[in-house]
Chain A
Amino acid sequence: MNAFKNIKWDMGTVGQLVISFLRLYLGAWMIVSGTSYWLHQLGFQPIFPQPFGSLPDSNKMLITFVEVGLFDLVKTLEIVGGVLLVLNIFVPLGLLILFPISAMVFYNAVFLNHRYDGILRLTYMGTACLYMNVVLMLVYIRHYLPMLKFNARSGSITDIKYLPEIFK
């Protein structure tokens, strides 16, 4: 309880709470989405029936994803990325894993299902998941900067000895 009493309520704290909310909500949503698919694949009742789009192009894309097995990968990565966000471990990696998925969800919703009304609706997860993903990646941008170097030089294989440092 002392930890709560020591919290200094200022804009920084409120900002941290908003960031935590976005991280947890995006992570939880991805976990639910991935788990529902796998429950169905394993013969159990899903959390919700998988929608296959309301317009032909969306329908074709989603069905093809399922038929070629790519949906298995997508839904597994949703769970992996979601768990990383909820557990608050390897968050930049989790966001990186989820980014292409969020982008595809956005593309499917807006361009294939013509849900243009959802572009400005923050409660519509077809678009909001990408917005949350991008905001969170910007918040964690200092972790991405080292890999965004213009003049990146190769290291040596011995650099692998630094791998344990990722757990620090």
Chain B
Amino acid sequence: MRILSIIVGAIFVYWIAHGLHTNPRWTWSPGEGELPRDVVALYMDKAYKQGQVDEAVKLFFTPKTEDQVPAENVLPDGKPFEPQVKRVIAEGFNVAVHYSVESDAGETAEYVEIFNVRGGRITARERIARKQPNAAAPTDSQ
């Protein structure tokens, strides 16, 4: 009887696993099942470091994402860059990333990007830019 019970248990394991694996609620996007801060890191790697902005939008944004950064400004100099991350603040659905970028001319710009992440996808992004921080320029929002 114990053997039969174990066999039935194994069938249940397969049945439940199959049901959960094929559940249509999953999109199986790369960010699904990841922590919000990891979703943002994956997005930044794809969009900023690799420069694949459109692909990153497809993988990590939703059709209803409220993106306050114009598409032409996602890459500040129009080419891939390595963000120097200074700090990441994550609480629940919200992730704020403070990073700097150095241009070819040697100028440093600082950004704070605030993401809202749900279900492994970015649902909102706001970017606050501060260029030439040494000149104590006023902060403005894009």
Q: How far is the CB of A34 from chain B (nearest CB, A)?
A: 11
Is B104 interfacial (CB 8 A cutoff)? no
Contacts of B109 in A (CB 8 A): none
What interface size band does chain A fall in? Answer: 20 to 34
Interface segment out of the listed A25-33, A100-108, A114-122, A143-151? A25-33
Q: Nearest residue in A to B21 (C-beta to C-beta)?
A: A47
Q: B-facing mask of A31-67, CB < 8 A → 1, else 0? A: 1100110001000001111111010100110010011
Inter-subunit contact B120/A28 (CB<8 Å): no
A32 adjacent to B13 (CB under 8 Å)? yes
**Chain A residues in 8 Å Cβ range of B92:** 56, 59-60, 63
What bracket does the count of chain B residues touching chain A fall in? 20 to 34
Q: Which of A24, A46, A49, A63 contacts B36 (CB 8 A)?
A: A63
Residues of chain A with a CB closer than 8 A to B93's CB:
56, 59
A3 at the interface (CB under 8 A from B): yes
Residues in B with CB closer than 8 Å to A27 are 9, 12
Assembled-state Cα–Cα distance A89/B121 (Å): 42
- Residues A46 and B2 in contact in the complex (CB < 8 Å), given A32-B16, A56-B92, A60-B91: no
Q: Select from chain B the residue with minimum beta-carbon distance to A37.
A: B33
Residues of B participating in the A interface, judged by any CB pair closer than 8 Å: 1-2, 5-6, 8-10, 12-13, 15-17, 20-21, 23, 26, 28, 32-33, 35-36, 90-93, 118-120
Given contacts A24-B9, A24-B12, A32-B13, 8 further A-B contacts (CB under 8 A): A3-B1, A27-B9, A28-B12, A32-B20, A48-B26, A66-B35, A86-B13, A88-B5
13 A-B pairs (CB sep. < 8 Å):
A20-B5, A20-B8, A25-B12, A31-B13, A35-B17, A36-B20, A48-B21, A48-B26, A52-B35, A63-B92, A66-B35, A86-B6, A86-B9
| A interface residues with partner B (beta carbon < 8 Å) | 3, 20, 24-25, 27-29, 31-32, 35-36, 40, 46-52, 54, 56, 59-60, 63, 66-67, 85-88
